[in-house]
Structure 1
Amino acid sequence: MGMMSMRLPDELSEQLSALADATGRSKSFLAGQAIRDFIERESWQISEITQAVREADAGDFASDAEVSEISAKWQTHAG
């Protein structure tokens, strides 16, 4: 298991301590979970963006008719 040290602003450190006390978890566990969640979310976004760039590079765009259909749908449901 890797080890890392980091500096946190006092307010964030206090919030982390309070959350650790309230949940019965260690600050390290909570920080690790937060980093894990962040990495999963960011990795998903990067994957989606990479796929969209590949599609764009291949010329795979929505047709004018598809865009008009979606636009009409949103305008109908908007209000």
Structure 2
Amino acid sequence: MRKTAVITARVESDIAEGLSRLATQYDRSRAWLVAKAVTKYVEDESAFLASLKEGEDAIDRGDYLTQEEMVAEVERWRQNRKRPV
């Protein structure tokens, strides 16, 4: 079994009420719902920050296009799509 930790957070009362309604509808505890929400948030934010880091690393390596280069590349793609096959 995975080790767990207890955390405490304050939310507006209407959010707590909504959480209680959801818990009832899903037949789950509020703690279960909060754990799922926090897990999703941590995964999403971690992935977002990793993608930012990947972009920053690419810039540091000089592996990027300028605005002008990107506009030209997109225009080439558009022109290629207009050509009949």
Taking structure 2 as the reference length, the TM-score comes to 0.77
Q: 2:40 aligns with which of 15, 20, 37?
A: 37
Indicate the structure (1 or 2) with the bigger Cα radius of gyration.
2
**2:22 aligns with one of 12, 19, 22:** 19
Dislocated runs of 4+, deviation >3 Å: none
Consecutive unaligned residues of structure 2, counting only runs of 5 or more, are none
- Give the alignment of 1:62-77 within 5 angstroms: 62=65, 64=69, 66-71=70-75, 73=78
> How far is the alpha carbon of 1:6 from its aligned partner?
1.4
Q: What is the aligned-residue RMSD (CA, Å)?
A: 1.8
Percent identity over the alignment is 25
TM-score normalised over the length of structure 1: 0.82
- How far 1:18 moved relative to its partner? 0.3
